[in-house]
Structure 1
Amino acid sequence: MKRLLRTISMMAAVLALLWGAGNLLLEVQLPTAPEGRGAFPDPMDPEMNLSDVFLALPAANGSEQSRVALLDDNATAWLTRWRLLAEARQSIDVSYFILKQDVFGAALLGHLIKKAREGVRIRVLLDAMGTEMSRDRRGNGYLGVLVRTPGVQVRVYRPLKYRYLDAFLTLNPAAVIASDHDKILVVDGRRALTGGRNISREYFSPPADDPTAFHDTDVLLAGRQIAAAMTTAFEAQFTSGEAKPMQSGALHLDGSEDDLLEAYQLMDEWLRGLGLPDRTADIEQTWAHQLQGMPGLHGILDSESPGYESTRVRLLNSRTRLINPNDAITRSLIRLIRSAREEIFIQSPYLVLLKDAAELLEEAAERGVRITILTNGPAARDRAIGQAFFFDQWPRLLQRIPSLQLYVGGDRHNLHSKIAVVDRRVSLVGTYNFDPLSMLVNSELVIVADSEALAERVLEKPERLMAAGPPRTYRYLLAPAGDQTDAPAMIEFGPTDHWQAKQWPAVAAYQYWLIKPLRVLDTPLL
């Protein structure tokens, strides 16, 4: 027993020594948590109108006149990326949170290898937490091929071993999950693309072909100034100390360049409307089978390009808050919400509001502003922990914000768009979810455009979804409160009216084991 106690004491002493020594060398320091309303600092005059607020956004991160094309169709979003890569002549910068090894991920890598052979300079940044390709033997090999390609630089944002070390040294679990959630594609310093889509099948399959395909929104941007702002955002992460060069030797796996070029060729032929050749390799058959399941992509290469709107644009960039606590997106959202006078629309796949965020919407409602939110319902089966928090919050949101209309998706199509529109004039499209991960932890990007025409275009698809009604979408409602304004919210229609908890037991588990204890601790969640 004494020997065991001595061993435990020695281990504790060694850990304490390592922790102390590590902190002396630690480059990453977590920002201190702000208190109260300081969580959302806003030094601007709350009486500023919408036009003044837009003009006060950082002008260096945008352009007085850019061309913006909305990509709210999956097939068009993939085709636009394919064309951008094909037309690249000098440089390609790519940053994604998720890159899977399905036919889309493999074809993208094959396309990059082809462009590198043509002399195009290529830089790729992938997040260690989100990149699922790196967790598989074959996928690791594919990344190794890319690393070994001349003219290509590949870096990984916050490799997992550094995350766990940072969490140990800072005693903060946020160090494990803090990620680069940006989605960036910049070509030749002239055109750029960002939005909600990662690189995998669910983001680009036509919904008519795939019952689990996502609905998402990107924007294509044309103009040197806005492209330069996107490049600056890319380089801020790519050249940071948190982005580590990927070494092919460290992967310990050999991949086939031919496999990736074959994926590129199959994808290109399918988009051109050609038939798929009869091949025998297993991986080729897998990719061909995936493409055959998406007839909506067949032959679309000759389709017309999406129409542009010419408008003023700003780029809001919030780097990973683990590294840089300056949060331009949240700060700007506060200003835009406070400037709203008529209407606010928000679509977010995950809706978990902090108390301060709910208070901002409540203040807007008190000014007579109509508020509409569209988010995922339980049928989408994405991120059970987020749904558990949403189920807990939504009745109190409706009770506190009388002008709020709350809609949820009713089928398996994940509503993955991250968009907002203020007074049907200023629209926001980007990577930022209305949840604590985006508000407090991850790196995010948002494009803000001042155009009534573009705002109407952004609203067109979500308004069509909400108007479709059940079973496509549902509106959650509370029963009339009458004179008992302080009475607990009584639900007229909610999740249990179109979904049974036993269909997704993880939600109930999170509600019992996580949300109830957080309530007792009086956390800053609503």
Structure 2
Amino acid sequence: MRKTKIAAVIVLGVLAGWVIFNTLFDFYGGRPETPTQLMQLDSYDEGMSLREVFETFPAYGAGRADLRLLNDNNLAWAARWDLLDKARQSIDVSYFILKQDVFGIAFLSHLLKKAKEGVKVRILLDAYGSRLSWDLEGNDYLDALVNTGNVEIRMYRPLYDRVLQGIIHLSVAVAVASEHDKILVVDGKRAITGGRNIAKEYFSHPADAEMVFRDVEVEVSDQGAAQALTTAFETQFLSDGAEPVSSEILNLNTQKADLNRAYQAMDSWLRGEGQGRVKEIVSEAHEWREEMLAMAHLEGNLSTPLPPYLNAEIRVLDSAARFGMPGDAISLAGTRLVNSAREEIFIQNPYVMVSEETLGVFAQASKNGVPITLFTNSPEASESIVSQAFFLEQWPYILSAVPTLKLYANDDKQMVHAKLASFDNIVSLIGTYNLSPLSMATNSEIVIAVWSREFSRRLTQRPRKQLDQGRPGVYQYRIQRHPDGSAMVNEEGAPVVAFGPKDHIDMEDNEKNKFVLGVIKSVGAAAGVSPFF
């Protein structure tokens, strides 16, 4: 009995100490102390029109800007290369993922070249998504840039910080919160943002690589908008969670020469100078050289005309990493737009894991009679096992709660990675925000809101075309309904599926989806647990 009491006292003491420690000290490294202008919306009243809702978005950086949609993967890379080439004063770079492949190394090589020309370069990479700092060779690439004296690199939330803070706060959200922005700003005047990270799957032609994503970005030419994106960049870059990368004390192997060759080779390839010239620049067989030569459709793309600019009114919305705290500017803006839409809501998003609150917002739009199209990935097309586990459990309930919603699943070779939305074909959102708990309450995100009917048409043109093509690239998931439109349910109260993933995917023979089903069954085994978080 005495030992039991002692153990109870120890446990209570530890819990009390943990509470006091968390009360006195804030160890959420990386969370901004005060929200910036881009994270705050003006007051909102029920019944506002879409235009009135748009006016509640941040005024900082607002105005008319020249916008260029970058749908094509190869042209998106060429546009990025050209933008870097034109840099004369400064370059700010922020990415969740920058891989050590041909595109990642070439991107760093161009930044190195500009730094040697005197351009000030700031780079922010997420320490989990971008694993260069995990690898000796990757560290050597970063060191080559830092040693120029014109490059400042920071890694957002190194792994040991994540683990420590997650344990201290007993929170998975604190452990996984990441820098999810994708921002490139040049000379404080032009910028690119959207869904693409820096890796082969984002910039390859479908015929040139095994795994290729279908994504979209927007190039923004406007000083006010570029300054707003710089502010969003600095919110994370200057935070306590961004750890500077210092020059190595003992550098046994420099990658400076390799980066120099990578720049020359990529520039030559983009100018269409042929394989012979690339092999002349890089005589030995580098892995990244072979990757480059495999990109047949990328060759000569600098001479391909880019899509035309469109001048339109924009607002910039920012959400900093916030460790499990909902209510950010982007989520609130999206909710307001859904509430005010009256004609149509069109959404394309790679991941769908909605909360009870989000489901309620869409259900109310359905009650208002608004048709909703949601285009995402099938389990076969998605690379995220966890998100598909939730999606497989949720989708019938989503259709049951939102009768006017049509749900389409991409089953094409190219995974949908674009994050876009259109409301009444006049207000559009394009950026990094996913329909998932990580975007809704944890990660940093950036979104451009655009007021333009023509921009909305251009933005949704490609996904609408894919939907029109139908099977086998796209499948519509449906549930059975009564004549009055209400959902039919089985004895357990679950919606009855009319057509779903199991009707076009061999779930039992697919190893990935076996695991997905196992996750779902484990979650469902907990009696009374809602499929929504």
Q: Does the TM-score normalized on the shorter chain lie above 0.5?
A: yes
| In the alignment, structure 1 residue 481 sits paired with structure 2 residue 490 | no
Residues in 2 aligned to 1:61 and 1:153: alpha-carbon distance in whole angstroms? 25
Corresponding residue for residue 34 of structure 1 = none
> Which secondary structure state, in structure 1, belongs to the residue aligned with residue 94 of structure 2?
strand
How many Å apart are 1:239 and its aligned residue? 0.8
Q: Please name the residue that 1:393 is paired with.
A: 394
Q: Tell me if structure 2 keeps the 8 A contact 1:374–1:406.
A: yes
Which whole-Å CA distance do the structure 2 matches of 1:467 and 1:260 have between them? 44
**Distance in 2 separating the partners of 1:164 and 1:194:** 30
Alignment partner of 1:52 is 2:52: yes
d(CA) in 2 for partners of 1:484 and 1:469?
A: 24
Contact 1:140 1:255 in 2 (8 A): no
Is residue 496 of structure 2 the alignment partner of residue 506 of structure 1?
Answer: no
- Structure 1 residue 24: deviation in Å? 4.0
Which position in structure 1 is the counterpart of 2:361? 360
| Distance in 2 of aligned mates of 1:209 and 1:190 | 33
The Cα offsets for residues 195-236 of structure 1, whole Å up to 9 and x where unpaired, read as 000000000001232342000010000011000100111111
Q: Which amino acid aligns with 2:497?
A: I
Structure 1 CA distance for aligned equivalents of residues 499 and 249 of structure 2: 54
Distance 1:123 1:157, change over 3 A: same
Alpha-carbon distance change, 255 to 11 in structure 1, aligned in 2, over 3 angstroms: farther
For residue 157 of structure 1, what is the aligned residue in structure 2? Answer: 156
Q: Identify the residue that residue 318 of structure 1 maps to in structure 2.
A: 319
Partner of 1:520, secondary structure, is coil
Matched, 1:520 2:528: yes
SS of corresponding position for 1:331: helix
Assess if the C-alpha contact under 8 Å between 1:127 and 1:156 holds in 2.
yes
Aligned in 2, Cα 1:128/1:16: closer, same or farther, shift over 3 Å? farther
What is residue 271 of structure 2 aligned with on the other side? 272
- Report the aligned-residue RMSD: 2.9
Does the CA-based 8 Å contact 1:144-1:251 persist in structure 2?
Answer: no
Pair 251,460 (structure 1): closer, same or farther in 2 beyond 3 Å: farther
Structural mapping, 1:125-524, within 5 Å? 125-249=124-248, 254-276=253-275, 277-278=278-279, 284-322=285-323, 327-482=328-483, 485=486, 487-488=488-489, 489-502=495-508, 503=510, 504=512, 505-517=514-526, 520-522=528-530
Q: Tell me the alpha carbon deviations over residues 77-127 of structure 1, each in whole angstroms, 9 at most, x when there is no partner.
A: 111110110000000000000000000000011100100000000000001
Provide closer, same or farther for how the CA distance between residues 473 and 523 of structure 1 changes in structure 2, counting only shifts above 3 A. closer
Task: Summarize the Cα distance change of 1:427–1:14 in structure 2 as closer, same or farther, 3 Å threshold.
Answer: closer
CA distance, structure 1, for counterparts of residue 147 and residue 16 of structure 2: 41
Letter in 1 for 2:521: Y
Distance in structure 2 (CA, Å) of the matches to 1:435 and 1:377? 16
Q: 1:483 to 1:90 in 2, by over 3 A?
A: closer
Separation in structure 1 between the aligned mates of residue 46 and residue 14 of structure 2, nearest angstrom: 53
AA at the equivalent of 2:44: M
State whether residues 42 and 334 of structure 1, in contact with CA within 8 Å, keep that contact through their aligned partners in structure 2. no
Going from structure 1 to structure 2, the CA distance change for 1:281 and 1:261 (only over 3 Å counts) comes to closer
What is the Cα deviation at residue 250 of structure 1? Answer: 8.1
Q: Distance in 1 between matches of 2:367 and 2:485?
A: 19
> In the aligned structure 1, how far is the partner of 2:174 from the partner of 2:249?
23
Change (3 A) 1:486 1:95: closer
Render the CA deviation track for 1:219-258: whole Å, top value 9, x for unaligned: 0000110001001111111111111111233897743111
CA distance in 2, matches of 1:159, 1:12: 32
Task: Figure out how many residues of one structure are paired with residues of the other and give that number.
Answer: 512
1:4-15 to structure 2, matched below 5 A, reads none
- Asked whether the 8 Å contact 2:352–2:436 carries over to 1, the reply is yes
Structure 1 residues 478, 324: closer, same or farther in 2, change over 3 A? closer
The unaligned stretches of length 5 or more in structure 1 are 32-40
Mean CA deviation greater in 323-332 or 115-124: 323-332
TM-score normalised over the length of structure 2: 0.89
Unaligned runs of 5+ in 2: 32-40, 490-494
Once residues 359 and 104 of structure 1 are traced to their aligned partners in structure 2, the CA distance between those partners, rounded to angstroms, is 41
- For normalisation by structure 1, the TM-score amounts to 0.91
The alpha-carbon distance between structure 1 residues 96 and 137, as it changes in their structure 2 partners (threshold 3 A), is same
Of residues 207-216 and 182-191 in structure 1, the stretch that sits farther from structure 2 once superposed is: 207-216
